[in-house]
Structure 1
Amino acid sequence: MGDLFGTDGIRGLAVENVKRDSSAITRCIDDREFSVGLLQLVGEALGTYLRPSGEGRPRVVIGWDQRPLNEDLVRSLTVGLHLSNCSVIWAGECATPGLHATLLAEGGDTGCMVTASHNPVSDSGIKIFDKDGYKTSPEVESTIEALIHQLSSEERELSEDEKCELGIADQSVDGTAIHSAALTLRLPMLKLRYLDGLVSSLFPPEGLLLDSSKGSATTWLADWLSENLVKTEELSAGCLALNEGCGAGELSPTLTMTWDELSTKEHNHVLFDELNKRQNSYNTSEMILAATLDGDGDRCLLVRVNSKATGIEVVDGDQMLDALAMAASEITPQIKGMIAASIESDLSLLNSLQRLDAELEAVETAVGDRWLAVALRDNLTSSSEPFRIGGEDSGHLLLTTPHPIQDDEWRLVGDGIATLVASICALATCSEKQGFQFGWKSRQSISPSVRSKWDGKNENAEAVIALLEGDWQRQDIDGESNLLMMKGKINGDKVSVAVRNSGTQAKTTVSIRSTGTHLPDLLEEVIQTLTPRLQP
């Protein structure tokens, strides 16, 4: 993978600079500037990649979320695609799964989502999908990046009139409407697979609180859920901007909070402020109180009363994945399928699947839903729905979805709304059953970090290894080129110590997982060792 693309496309601080030259690339790599000029280069390069013989007119679908510069960025991307002889379809403001649904429904050759996901609203970025709705591989991104560098050296002067003409789509569709229609089609499939019983017992009388991070779902999802699943109230509509004081991006998967902490801490988050107002009515353990999406709607976390009714806790992606597997095996005994989880998921999760009445292949992958899809995407041609689930503890879950225009074909999509619906159904089905016995995990980032100082193999990696006593083995994972992951045992419990650079931000993350023993001191020791080595 080159320097522009990270684990989830390209991201940076959105700027108006319109220069489409090498300086746009340098500023993105060195200063995290995601510029209008860079997007024109990306469009030109992507179109060139899609036409290796120089023939044909590929169809590219573009969606975007609600960020201040996104419309300018989309127009510039459209200019670049038109210059390379592509046809452009705008899906409008929509969630990333809305772009995915539109790409499949329109039979496009490629999809582009202009978003920075859970990053601050001042950032933007681009995710690129192939014709099957899967994120592009590092090899494809390297090819596109090489073309970006090549094209940046070619002068291409356009008048403002030419830019205006080239910056208009050939066709516009309503990506949000296509997305909601696809979810309505999926709803009975999700209930058939995961629901045996009633969901109403999971919630307080007033229903579910919803925080859509002021994304595209803010205007319609609460009504859709109220009609199809549970009475729902949207909280983020009054927030100032996307991801600002709202959304799943602010929630740690391991977050817990007592009622006292909820009432005395300053949260600056619409969900916690509302939960605090209502906490006196929340006295039933494991009652689901809220669901929250991230800005581009591809992941979801739930919030519920904890098991002792002394406060709240996040239901993270690991717990939701386990509930889905439990429910599916309850409803369909001996179900066959495949489960994938990333290296940041609970260390006990995949092994615990053996307790279920199911024949499940379990796979550990690199971080990012792209790598979950790589593990799960084979053998998806079937007259009945295959059983595949991929998950990260952050709430990114990949579930199967029917191809809208190809019979007996299924694809995988990370859709926070589908995750929300499926997880509620599964938790209702398994409300009387014990979930997996999760271990301990904690992550901490060094931010900002100079990511070039960490490659997983240099003297800084050796300094981490020197902290570990006993018999430890290094494990490599496809897709994690700078990962150091050491596995061993402490107090008889399996332990994983991992350090990796973020692919989207200037930070390096230390993650420690254990099947039982809590290891905050080891985490702090690794952080203290690396911080002076990696900070600017």
Structure 2
Amino acid sequence: MTRKFFGTDGIRGLTNSPPMTAETALKVGQAAGTYFLRGDHRHRVVIGKDTRLSGYMMESALVAGFASVGMDVVLLGPMPTPAVAMLTKSMRADLGVMISASHNPFYDNGIKLFGPDGYKLSDEAERAIERLLEKEPRLAKSEMIGRAKRIDDARGRYVHFAKSTFPDRLRLDGLKIVVDCANGAAYHVAPDALWELGADVIPLGVKPNGLNINDACGSTHPELLRETVVASGADIGLALDGDADRLIVVDEKGKVIDGDQLMALVGTGYARRGDLKGGAVVATVMSNLGLEQRLAKDKIGLKRTAVGDRYVLEEMRTSGCNVGGEQSGHIILSDHATTGDGLVAGLQVLAALVEEQKPASEVLHQFDPVPQLLKNVRFNGGEPLARKHVKDAIAAAEAELGKKGRLVIRKSGTEPLIRVMAEGNDAAQVERLVDEICAAVAAD
């Protein structure tokens, strides 16, 4: 069955344009609520959101949908995606919902669903919910309609949880940390957690107005973070995205550190302490070959998956691994969380910084990346990768790279983009091949 609504990370799109409309949100609430109505207990769904203006509309529609099929609703307000996953499990809810389009601009929004165990739904569960979306909902009797309740201490619960992942023996006293919250879901909790652990915190992106989420800030736009770290003499900078499930770091010199370096740092650290499970780190096909080579020096394997943190997590659960992630900054530490958590990952990085008592530029530089280039090409419909001239360009590039490099080309699951990545020993060759493929995709 081809999925009509769900992509690689829930349902996402331009707000007030199908599928991201209030009508769809209402139907998703009814369908997902119906799917999780199991047993004779009073059913409960937890809903969080980021700071987008459209979050109010989507939240109200989802509440109506869930309540109409007899499910009680707990509203968290603006909270990170990993907080919603954590609270879904800790509150014994049947279902969790995060209203967010992650790193996308304010005009997009999305719906992410979590099961009662705090994990994102399987493909099978999403397909079942899609089938229910095509049917008339089974509405609750009048006396069984759900109630909605907003809880006030959700922020404190998550801050307490995040701090609990930081070693008890350590503190952040003496560290000056710049944290960019992307005017998103973590604008309160991230600075609060760092301050409570003793850090001197310089917050950025903590004045959301509904329209400025991810706007020239956060993990996808680290320029302001770099400038602020250097200008303030900070020890390190942390950048989250709009829903705070990814992390990018900036060292004291203003250099951006991606998820591959962070996975190398955390993975090798876990291995030294005997905490690494599964004998490997799990990453996607986009992760740099240098990560694989660095881990191999410590006899740690690297398992690669399709792009998407859900696929990383599936492999982690299958293989019994507890460290995984993506180059983009989704870092999954399954001993602590059921999804990527930018704040928790940042705290593990800070713990390494405190323990090693060295500058961030030394601690975070784990390997020299192999030359790699990723470019995105926007398209207006159809299947660009099925066109002959695009296939020919890809085949020619693969033949030229041979065994000295890698080519990864895929259609984005969240945006109308073709992502073209090449990796090899010759940076000029890599750039030329990427440009040739991008030109072929854009030619139609």
Q: TM-score range by the shorter chain?
A: 0.7 to 0.9
| Partner residue of 2:105 out of 107, 114, 120 | 120
Instruction: Select between 345-354 and 127-136 the one with higher mean Cα deviation.
Output: 345-354
After superposition, residues 56-455 of structure 1 pair within 5 angstroms as 57-151=42-136, 169-170=148-149, 172=151, 174-188=153-167, 207-238=176-207, 240=209, 241-251=212-222, 270-272=224-226, 274-275=228-229, 278=231, 288-306=235-253, 312-332=254-274, 337-356=279-298, 360-378=300-318, 388-401=322-335, 411-429=337-355, 431=358, 435-447=366-378, 449-454=379-384
Instruction: Select between 93-102 and 371-380 the one with higher mean Cα deviation.
Output: 371-380
CA contact (8 A) 1:327 1:429 kept: no
Cα RMSD of the aligned pairs, angstroms, is: 3.1
Partner of 1:28: 18
CA contact (8 A) 1:63 1:99 kept: yes
Query: 1:49, CA displacement in angstroms?
Result: 1.7
CA contact (8 A) 2:44 2:71 kept: yes
How does the TM-score come out when normalised to structure 1? 0.73
Distance 1:436 1:516, change over 3 A: farther
Distance 1:515 1:335, change over 3 A: farther
CA contact (8 A) 1:120 1:244 kept: yes
- What amino acid does structure 2 have at the position aligned with 1:346? N
Partner of 1:466: 395
CA-to-partner distance for each residue in 1:322-359, whole Å, 9 max, x for gaps? 01122223344997643100111112312431211x5x
Separation in 2, partners of 1:5, 1:89: 24
Instruction: Select between 113-122 and 314-323 the one with higher mean Cα deviation.
Output: 113-122
Query: 1:428, CA displacement in angstroms?
Result: 4.8
Separation in 1, partners of 2:400, 2:421: 19
Separation in 1, partners of 2:330, 2:236: 20
SS in 2 for 1:250: coil
Query: 1:470, CA displacement in angstroms?
Result: 3.5
How does the TM-score come out when normalised to structure 2? 0.87
Query: 1:293, CA displacement in angstroms?
Result: 0.7
- What amino acid does structure 2 have at the position aligned with 1:71? Y
- What amino acid does structure 2 have at the position aligned with 1:176? R
Distance 1:503 1:229, change over 3 A: farther
- What amino acid does structure 1 have at the position aligned with 2:12? R
Distance 1:462 1:40, change over 3 A: same
Distance 1:527 1:47, change over 3 A: same
Q: Does 1:509 align with 2:443?
A: no
Query: 1:233, CA displacement in angstroms?
Result: 1.1
SS in 1 for 2:47: strand
Segments of structure 1 that go 5 or more residues without pairing to the other structure are: 16-26, 157-161, 252-268, 307-311, 381-386, 403-410, 473-487
Query: 1:234, CA displacement in angstroms?
Result: 0.6
Distance 1:368 1:303, change over 3 A: same
CA contact (8 A) 1:342 1:392 kept: yes
SS in 2 for 1:377: helix
Distance 1:288 1:463, change over 3 A: farther
CA-to-partner distance for each residue in 1:458-508, whole Å, 9 max, x for gaps? 535522333226487xxxxxxxxxxxxxxx32xxx3x11121111111211
SS in 1 for 2:416: coil
Partner of 2:31: 45
CA-to-partner distance for each residue in 1:42-84, whole Å, 9 max, x for gaps? 011112222379x665321111111112122112111111222
Query: 1:435, CA displacement in angstroms?
Result: 1.7
Distance 1:469 1:293, change over 3 A: closer
Partner of 1:532: 443
Distance 1:435 1:171, change over 3 A: closer
Query: 1:439, CA displacement in angstroms?
Result: 0.9
CA contact (8 A) 2:226 2:237 kept: no
Query: 1:275, CA displacement in angstroms?
Result: 4.8
- What amino acid does structure 1 have at the position aligned with 2:187? T
CA contact (8 A) 2:165 2:347 kept: no
Identity of aligned residues (%): 28
- What amino acid does structure 2 have at the position aligned with 1:14? T
Instruction: Select between 170-179 and 40-49 the one with higher mean Cα deviation.
Output: 170-179
Distance 1:445 1:199, change over 3 A: same
Query: 1:230, CA displacement in angstroms?
Result: 2.6
CA contact (8 A) 2:264 2:366 kept: yes
Separation in 1, partners of 2:188, 2:79: 11
Separation in 1, partners of 2:104, 2:134: 26
CA contact (8 A) 1:116 1:126 kept: yes
Separation in 2, partners of 1:58, 1:365: 35
The structure with the larger Rg is 1
Distance 1:228 1:63, change over 3 A: same
Segments of structure 2 that go 5 or more residues without pairing to the other structure are: none
Separation in 2, partners of 1:80, 1:72: 13
Separation in 1, partners of 2:412, 2:114: 21
CA contact (8 A) 1:78 1:166 kept: no
CA contact (8 A) 1:104 1:132 kept: yes
SS in 2 for 1:511: strand
- What amino acid does structure 1 have at the position aligned with 2:327? D
Separation in 2, partners of 1:464, 1:200: 54
Separation in 2, partners of 1:466, 1:270: 40
Separation in 2, partners of 1:226, 1:292: 16
- What amino acid does structure 1 have at the position aligned with 2:370? G
Query: 1:516, CA displacement in angstroms?
Result: 6.1
Distance 1:302 1:239, change over 3 A: same
Query: 1:101, CA displacement in angstroms?
Result: 1.6
CA contact (8 A) 2:225 2:250 kept: no
